[in-house]
Amino acid sequence: MTPASTLTTVSGTATRVFVARLAGTSVFDPIGDQVGRVRDVVVLLRPKGAPRAVGLVVEVPGKRRVFLPLTRVVAIDAGQVISTGLVNMRRFEQRPFETLVVGELFDRTVQLADGSGSAAVEDVAIERQRNGDWLVSKVFVRKHRPGRGGLLRRRGEPELLDIDAIAGLARTAADAQGAALLLAQYDELKPADLADVLHDMGTTRRMEVATALDNERLADVLEELPEDDQVAILSGLERTRAADVLEAMQPDDAADLLGELPVDQQAELLGLMEPEEARDVRRLLAYEENTAGGLMTTEPVVLGPETPIAAALAHVRRRELTPALASMVFVVRPPVETPTGRFIGVVHLQRLLREPPHEAIGTLVDTDIDPVTADAPLLAVTRRMATYDLLAIPVVDDERRLLGAVSVDDVLDHLLPEDWRETDEDVQPEPAAPRTGGPARHVGAAARRGVRRG
């Protein structure tokens, strides 16, 4: 029996998956509709540390192969992959720093780190880490045995080895010295810290690093950069890649960035984005910059009143949510995608943690928080949030449909002076503008972006 026939699970979700078994597995959206089938796994080979798996190559109807980031995979269970339902249908194009496990690593000859000889790769295991990353942890190999005349005989002893026991997984030295080296050098940095590094780089080096990052990572970093750096990097990317990165950004951040571009470039990039993603960004671009509509995100946690508390808690655990947006669930009548049905109220995270997991969130709704309208000015939004100690506030239209939510970090982005990011962090703040320990965490990241759209 090979490792490909095994699957380690915790609470029904795989933490270690062998790629040979994953290939051919059906991919479903959250409501159970089949999206396609897994055909390969994309990994980044690094000169130091375990290779990182970043996504799946999924074959959808029409024999088209598309890329599904692992950040959009909710669960990998026996015989199925569950996605968030957001699948970019643009045809997958492999980039120079990416490696396909099935297409390129299987049957590759590698050296054993202990010097005992060589082996052929037959399978690779990827394992989910506590931080959500998927790393290559195990390699199933068949050792080469010497034959007559010193020639290698292909069939040898099978063995499951730790990734550290394998040398030479990258095909050439150039693989390790190119874009993968850049990725490894900055892999452990948080997006805000990597944004600082990029900001201090020369133009050419900055583009080299930015191009080497995967879409999700680059999107996170762009959200932390000053606007002139954002525009320079996005303009330097190939157009379809730029559209992919915009799709990976939060809609409000993507709208802010597009708002800095010429109208014709805006239109071109919006046309290359997936229609559903572009729709939200176009809506945000229509609002005045210093209003609730210009500040809000269209992707808070929005659920129906019948949703169990356990399911609501699963939604607020999503990695891409900021702490502010994870602090409350917005409860609405169907549909639950913005603009939603009628807004009912909010449920605070603390309340969710205090009640039985089987209870419906509709029984816990706080209806005392008054929403703001999309044309509400920044000052009115700020006062409302400060008065009621809110980390986020709902934004509704005249029919009380939820359009989105303004979070405290969105407000800070617009209240900070434009030159804040150039200020020495060691300089003490003016006495008239003290800051408490809590918001200061958000200030650092917001400052690097500067005042958005203006």
Q: What pLDDT does residue 181 have?
A: 55
| pLDDT for residue 98 is more than 90 | no
Residue 452: both structure tokens together: 């958005």
Query: Under CATH, which number does the domain 189-286 receive?
Result: 1.25.60.10
CA distance 23 to 282: 37
CA distance 17 to 202: 40
Question: Please, which pLDDT band fits residue 444 given cuts at 50, 70 and 90?
Answer: very low
Q: Report DSSP state, residue 101.
A: I
The rounded Cα 213 to chain-centroid distance in angstroms is 12
Of the CA atoms within 13 Å of residue 405, those in its CB half-sphere come to 30
Instruction: Render pLDDT for 356-371 as a digit per residue (tens, 0 to 9).
Output: 999 999 999 999 999 9
The rounded Cα 238 to chain-centroid distance in angstroms is 20
CA distance 404 to 320: 16
Query: Under CATH, which number does the domain 1-172 receive?
Result: 2.30.30.240
Residue owning tokens 């506590």: 130
Instruction: Render pLDDT for 192-230 as a digit per residue (tens, 0 to 9).
Output: 888 888 887 778 778 888 888 889 899 999 998 988 899
Output the CA torsion 77→80→84→89 (10° steps). Answer: 150
| pLDDT for residue 151 is more than 60 | no
Judged on CB neighbours under 10 Å (0-12, 13-18, 19+), 369 is middle
Mean pLDDT of the chain: 83
| pLDDT for residue 88 is more than 50 | yes
Q: Which CATH number fits domain 302-412: 3.40.50.410, 3.30.565.10, 3.10.580.10, 3.40.50.720?
A: 3.10.580.10
| pLDDT for residue 441 is more than 70 | no
Strands annotated E in 312-377: 328-332, 343-348, 372-373
Q: What pLDDT does residue 294 have?
A: 92
Of all residues in the chain, the percent with pLDDT exceeding 70 is: 82
Q: Where are the domains of the chain?
A: 1-172, 189-286, 302-412
Which candidate, 49, 84, 59, 51, places its Cα nearest to that of 70? 84
190: Cβ contacts below 8 Å, ≥ 6 apart: none
Pairing outcome for strands 372-373 and 392-396: parallel
Instruction: Render pLDDT for 380-409 as a digit per residue (tens, 0 to 9).
Output: 999 999 998 999 999 999 999 999 999 998
Question: Please, which pLDDT band fits residue 182 given cuts at 50, 70 and 90?
Answer: low
Q: Average pLDDT for residues 412-418, to the nearest whole number?
A: 76
For the entire predicted model, the pTM comes to 0.60
Other C-beta atoms closer than 10 Å to the C-beta of 379 total 10
Q: At what angle do helices 203-212 and 191-200 cross, to 10 degrees?
A: 150
Amino acid identity, position 276 = E
146, β-bridge pairs: 152
Q: What pLDDT does residue 173 have?
A: 39
The CA–CA distances, whole Å, from 229 to 17, 221, 270, 285, 399 equal: 39, 11, 20, 20, 39
343-348 sheet: strands from edge to edge: 302-303, 328-332, 343-348
2: Cβ contacts below 8 Å, ≥ 6 apart: 20, 122, 123, 140, 158
Instruction: Render pLDDT for 289-333 as a digit per residue (tens, 0 to 9).
Output: 889 999 999 999 999 999 999 999 999 998 888 899 999 999 999
